């Protein structure tokens, strides 16, 4: 079991590398990985079930303890990223399917990888986890509404159907994981070390499936999508940081909100795009999955060397306030 836990931790730390490797393999060998396309929703459900096994009541206690900080993070997530996506689709010419996909990933909640990057960047991990948890729970209502409001000009949007999809793939697995955590805590405690491996495998297969199914279209427009994703993610990280600074938050909190805003639950974006739009609309989410883990690691490394002016030593990742 110790060997499995060590291997799982290693895979979790090298997440970005595995995503890149299998995205390239899927592009070169599409027939090998396209078989996973029908399993995208199931794979995401498994990932969210794993999140449910680790989420705790104290994650939500942070909301009551410091609601203003969490509000800044949640508002930044659901305002900055969707509006940036809309701006990019207006400024850069792209097909309706790609535009809808860019907007969709911008309207998704924060991704759990943001919590890891915040830890590595010596940011406020408790705040990051609270923001991820709140945006995830709000996603069934907020994400379909934002997609309907901003993407309807490109493709038809069935907000109610999207709402039901998010409930099935996010809330139900989360609730099941949380319930099992309470019913069988010893078994869950034993399984937790293997969860990074499960999450990485799930995301890697989702990305590989999307790349494989869209291999020809990626060859035609992949560079454009990559540029849009890099701009979307980079501006999100930057504006998230400055929004937190404008709100008067400390350096550790600014780090957390910057990473939280810039990193999306792109697995959810890929699943929703494939189910409600088209395979091509899922490509921005797949590219986002690859890129935001690279950029997140780079930003975390930079943040880890930043210190609050006038404070001896940087604020640590274990800071709770």
Task: Answer for the pair 256, 271: CB distance below 8 angstroms, yes or no.
Answer: no
- pLDDT band of residue 89 (cuts 50, 70, 90) is very high
pLDDT at residue number 231: 96
Is 315 a residue whose pLDDT tops 60?
Answer: no
Residue recorded with tokens 């199931």 = 42
Task: Answer for the pair 244, 260: CB distance below 8 angstroms, yes or no.
Answer: no
- Which is nearest to 207 in space by CA: 21, 7, 14, 13? 21
- pLDDT band of residue 310 (cuts 50, 70, 90) is low
- Sequence-distant (6+) residues with CB within 8 A of 91 are none
- Which is nearest to 97 in space by CA: 293, 290, 285, 257? 285
Token representation of residue 17: 């590398």
DSSP secondary structure string, 134-187? HHHHHHHHHHHHHHHHHHTTTS---HHHHHHHHIIIIIHHHHHHHHHHHH-HHH
Domains in the chain (CATH in brackets) are 2-28+36-303 (1.20.1530.20)
Is 239 a residue whose pLDDT tops 90?
Answer: yes
CA distance 239 to 287: 21
Is 316 a residue whose pLDDT tops 50?
Answer: no
Sign of the dihedral defined by the CA atoms of residues 51, 204, 128, 144, in that order: negative
| 245-285 per-position pLDDT tens digit | 999 999 999 999 999 999 988 888 888 988 899 888 988 98
**Side-chain-side CA neighbours of residue 115 (13 Å):** 17
Query: Of the segments 109-123, 157-171, 214-228, 307-321, which one has the largest average pLDDT value?
Result: 157-171
Provide the percentage of residues in the chain whose pLDDT is more than 70.
Answer: 95
- pTM equals 0.83
Provide the percentage of residues in the chain whose pLDDT is more than 90.
Answer: 36
- Sequence-distant (6+) residues with CB within 8 A of 216 are none
CA distance 186 to 120: 28
Sign of the dihedral defined by the CA atoms of residues 55, 57, 58, 63, in that order: positive
- pLDDT band of residue 311 (cuts 50, 70, 90) is low
The torsion region of residue 55 among left (phi > 0), alpha (psi -120 to 50) and beta comes to beta
Sign of the dihedral defined by the CA atoms of residues 157, 161, 164, 168, in that order: negative
- pLDDT band of residue 112 (cuts 50, 70, 90) is confident
């Amino acid at each position: 079991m110790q060997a499995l836990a060590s291997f799982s931790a290693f895979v979790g730390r090298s997440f970005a590398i595995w995503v890149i490797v299998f995205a390239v393999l899927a592009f070169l060998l599409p027939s090998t990985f396209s078989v996973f396309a029908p399993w995208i929703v199931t794979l995401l459900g498994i990932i969210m079930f794993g999140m449910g096994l680790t989420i705790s009541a104290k994650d939500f206690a942070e909301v009551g303890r410091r609601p203003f900080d969490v509000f800044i993070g949640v508002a930044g997530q659901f305002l900055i990223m969707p509006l940036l996506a809309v701006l990019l689709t207006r400024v850069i010419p792209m097909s309706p399917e790609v535009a809808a996909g860019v907007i969709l990933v911008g309207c998704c909640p924060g991704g759990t990888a943001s919590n890891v990057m915040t830890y590595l960047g010596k940011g406020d991990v408790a705040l990051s986890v609270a923001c991820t948890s709140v945006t995830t729970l709000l996603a069934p209502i907020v994400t379909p509404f934002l997609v309907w409001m901003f993407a309807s000009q490109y493709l038809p949007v069935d907000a109610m159907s999207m709402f039901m999809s998010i409930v099935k793939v996010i809330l139900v697995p989360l609730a099941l994981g949380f319930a099992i955590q309470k019913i069988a805590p010893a078994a869950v405690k034993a399984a937790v070390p293997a969860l990074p491996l499960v999450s990485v495998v799930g995301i890697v297969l989702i990305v590989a499936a999307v790349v494989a199914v869209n291999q020809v279209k990626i060859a035609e427009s992949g560079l454009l999508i990559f540029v849009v994703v890099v701009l979307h993610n980079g501006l999100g990280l930057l504006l998230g940081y400055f929004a937190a600074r404008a709100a008067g938050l400390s350096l550790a909190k600014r780090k957390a909100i910057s990473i939280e805003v810039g990193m999306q639950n792109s697995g959810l974006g890929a699943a929703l795009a494939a189910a409600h739009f088209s395979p091509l609309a899922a490509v921005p989410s797949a590219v986002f999955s690859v890129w935001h883990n690279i950029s997140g690691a780079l930003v975390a490394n930079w943040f880890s060397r930043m210190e609050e002016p006038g404070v001896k030593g940087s604020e640590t990742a274990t800071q709770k306030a």
